[in-house]
Structures are given as C-alpha cells and as structure tokens.
C-alpha cells in the first residue's frame, strides 16, 4: 500500500496549499482547530484535513512535519478524521518561546482528551508514525525519523472498518503559519503484538 498524494481528499481545504508527489504545504488560517466539548466547553471542527481512505486492517504510516509555528496552539501533524465526533490527532502545539506541547488527542463519541509532554520551543520538525491493528491504534514520534517513541495506544469505537487518515494543520488563535509534510512512508504494521 502506498501513500499517494494524488489520491488524497480534503475535508475543508485551506485557502493556501501546495501538493507535489513528495511534499504537502499548508498555510493555516486563524481560528481553525479540532476539539470537542471536554473541559473547555466548546466545539471547534474547522481545521483543514487531507487524507486517504483504506480498509487495510494492519499498517503503519509515517510522515515528517516541519513548521514555523509562533502563536499559542499553532499545530500540525498526523490525523485520522472519521467524522466530527470520532477522530484522533498527534502534533506539537506551540505554547511560548520556551516550550511547546508534544501531544495527542483522541475523540470518541464527541468527547476529546489531550495527553501531552513539554518539549523545547526550538524544535521545528517531528516525525510521526500512525499504526493500525484493526480498531486499535498506536501513535509514535521521532526526532530523526529512525528511533520512534510511543506516545499513545487507543481504541477507536468507530475505527473498525474503512478509515481515513493523513495530515492536518491549524491555528486556533489569530495566527497563521506554514506547515510542510514530507517523507511519507506506508509499511507493514510496525506496532507489533504484545509478547
């Protein structure tokens, strides 16, 4: 299975983007985000998402993100967007000039969570690997594209059939930045069974 950019489809295309065989460029727009209900009390479902569809039950997808985020919550990363109330994402969210939040959000049946760890604000690139084992998923990150660290394992209640997955970028506050996605790789599932 290949990650073919010419087969990708937008859910809410941004005004400014560029797609070539080895690179996707998105310029974010202010007030865009993905979040549902939990804690903040609001819903925001307007981030641009670019995905492919598959019914393959076991695979891994890796991508490199490069970004020049500069305003709180600016983010770009990997996503599996099924519908407005069922999705997951992993990204680095800018916080200030000292630190950012490397994290993931899982939204099942209309409620989002957010698991994070703080990292240095100087980091401006990150690889992500998204792996599927039927309706269970694993997200990993890497600073070099070789050595991956587990971020999260989760179950998606509507993630057992055909799914859509890919990349996204957004700026929840009054901001805009350029997100670059490269080094796409589709492989057999790298998330091995627990021994």
User: Model confidence over 66-113: pLDDT tens digits?
Assistant: 999 999 999 999 999 999 999 999 999 999 999 999 999 999 999 999
Q: How many domains does the chain have?
A: 1
pLDDT range class, residue 190, cuts 50, 70, 90? very high
The verdict on residue 130 lying in a domain is no
pLDDT score of 195 more than 80: no
CATH number at residue 91: 2.60.120.200
In DSSP notation, 59-98 reads EEEEEEEEE---STT-EEEEEEEEETTEEEEEEEEE-SSS
Q: What pLDDT sits at residue 40?
A: 77
Share of the chain above pLDDT 90, in %: 90
The verdict on residue 45 lying in a domain is yes
Find the mean pLDDT for residues 5-26. 95
Alpha carbon separation from 83 to 35, 108, 146, 152, 165 (Å, rounded): 12, 10, 32, 21, 11
The verdict on residue 15 lying in a domain is yes
The verdict on residue 132 lying in a domain is no
Q: Are 27 and 52 in contact (CB under 8 A)?
A: no
pLDDT range class, residue 5, cuts 50, 70, 90? confident
The verdict on residue 108 lying in a domain is yes
Q: What are phi and psi of 7, to 5 degrees?
A: -100, 0
The verdict on residue 89 lying in a domain is yes
The verdict on residue 164 lying in a domain is yes
In DSSP notation, 117-165 reads EEEETT--EEEEEEEEETTEEEEEEESSSSS-EEEEEEE-TT-SSSEEE
**What's the chain's length in residues?**
195
The verdict on residue 195 lying in a domain is no
| Residue numbers of the domain that contains 104 | 5-53+62-125+154-184
pTM, two decimals, is 0.96
């Amino acid at each position: 299975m290949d990650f073919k950019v010419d087969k990708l489809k937008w859910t809410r295309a941004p005004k400014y983007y560029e797609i070539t065989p080895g690179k996707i460029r998105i310029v974010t727009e202010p007030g865009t985000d993905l979040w549902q209900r939990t804690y903040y009390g609001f819903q925001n479902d307007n981030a641009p998402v670019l995905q492919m569809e598959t019914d393959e039950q076991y695979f891994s997808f890796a991508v490199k993100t490069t970004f020049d985020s500069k305003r709180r919550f600016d983010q770009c990363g990997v996503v599996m967007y099924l519908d407005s109330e069922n999705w997951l994402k992993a990204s680095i969210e800018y916080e200030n000039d000292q630190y950012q939040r490397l994290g993931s959000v899982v939204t099942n049946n209309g409620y989002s969570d957010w698991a994070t760890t703080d990292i240095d604000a100087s980091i401006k690139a990150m690889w992500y690997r998204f792996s599927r084992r039927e309706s269970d998923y694993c997200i990993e990150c890497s600073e070099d594209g070789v050595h991956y660290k587990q971020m999260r394992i989760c179950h998606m209640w509507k993630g057992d059939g055909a799914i859509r997955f890919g990349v996204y970028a957004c700026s929840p506050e009054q901001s805009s930045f350029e997100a670059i996605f490269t080094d796409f790789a589709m492989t057999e599932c790298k998330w091995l069974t627990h021994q």
